[in-house]
Amino acid sequence: MPTLVLTLNAGSSSVKFALFEAADGAEAEPVRLASGQVEAIGGTARFQARAADGGGATDTAPEEGIPDHAAALARVLAWLEKVRPGASLAAVGHRIVHGGPDHAAPAVIDDALLADLERLVPLAPLHQPHNLAGVRAALGAFPEAVQVACFDTAFHRGHSALQQAFALPRRFFDAGVRRYGFHGLSYESVAARLQRDHPEVHAGRVIVAHLGNGASMAALAGGRSVASTMGFTALDGLVMGTRCGTIDPGVLLYLAQVEKLGWDAIAELLYEQSGLLGVSGISNDMRTLAASDDPAARFAIDMFIDRAARAAGDLAVVLEGLDALVFTAGIGENSAPVRAGIARRLAFLGAELDEAANAAGAAVFSMPSSRIRLLKVPTDEEAMIARHALRVVAPGTIAAAAR
């Protein structure tokens, strides 16, 4: 019987899923069988799914009756039964945004781990509560499967104390107030692809730019993360879709003391009303801004590019040089103007952009003479979660769960 793994990425009103089958060989990539998502949970939900062979395609009209994550997973389970009748899951792999200081590797989920992850909710309020809601729903929907937590922070846990620490009294670092870094599953996916397709790049000093609605950059040395733009929370670093990125802490004091905003209002401002949306006053979607002739849209894009280029320079200092800049995620993979804007700002470091190759979406879009290679590499967080889940589940456990 094939060993099947379901991956889940639960958001506030959505659940993205993918079904994988273990391939032969310990390091072989798992085979994607199907993927999809449930959107607008709690409202007029939409269910979309497709098997890898094109069968069982579903794109429902908005439907009632999916009030929560448990109902969403029941919908997923019913669809999986149609396309893979009688299939049994060995494991369910979950994206968990924050693992805190104690979780540097994927782990089997039990009551103690769930309680520990609940304590980290204040550090990732946009993500962690919904990740954990997905876990609880999956425990009910797939009781025979081993549930595996895969942490977005784990890939960065090898950072030096110098890169983790804030300039605060040591007791705060000991209490867990430190830089964690996020998007680790994406960076790990890109690093694995670089090792396979561009081993000479993987071996060098690389900055990976994960640019999407959430955005960050990470410095990799020999495929290992040594620094990241995101810190204590996923609010830090680059300008994002609705998040402000790095901000002077004095602004927060001003908002509280002068503007008289409460901390809940400040959190909503920084997490949900800032970034591209706040600066432009139009949208958090880069595609919408790029299509607009409003000067505010252009200004928001320019700020996004400026902050990313400045962050790349900072990470190049940590790496003591730069051999390659890699773009990934929704904006990084699909916006040639954003890639070009950042690359041009790094010309002083030796980046030479091949304008035609970039516009054509080429995987490598630097000139042959460029000292810094410019690449576009797709990320696959779901496949990385599946790999981790398969590694965590022992062969005997797999056999037992798959029966």
Q: Which CATH architecture has domain 184-381?
A: 2-Layer Sandwich (3.30)
In single-letter form, the type of residue at position 124 comes to A
110 catalytic residue (yes or no): no
**Are the CB atoms for 186 and 210 separated by under 8 Å?**
yes
- Dihedrals φ, ψ of 15, to 5°? -135, 120
CATH assignment of 4-151, among 3.30.70.20, 3.40.50.720, 3.30.70.260, 3.30.420.40? 3.30.420.40
Task: Please say if the pLDDT value at position 59 is more than 90.
Answer: no
Contacts of 49 (CB under 8 A, 6+ apart): 17, 34, 35, 36, 37, 56, 57, 58, 76, 79
Mapped onto helix, strand or coil, the DSSP state of residue 47 is strand
**265 pLDDT more than 70:** yes
Whole-angstrom Cα Rg for the chain: 21
Each residue of 307-356: pLDDT tens digit? 999 999 999 999 999 999 999 999 999 999 999 999 999 999 999 999 99
pLDDT, position 141? 86
What are the domain boundaries of the chain?
Answer: 4-151, 184-381
Given the residues 24, 152, 248, 306, select the one marked as catalytic.
152
As a whole number, mean pLDDT of residues 41-57 equals: 80
- Which helix H or strand E contains 6, and what residues bound it? strand 4-10
Q: Do domains 4-151 and 184-381 have the same CATH topology?
A: yes
Q: What is the pLDDT of residues 129-183, one digit of tens each?
A: 989 988 998 998 889 899 999 999 999 999 999 999 999 999 999 999 999 999 9
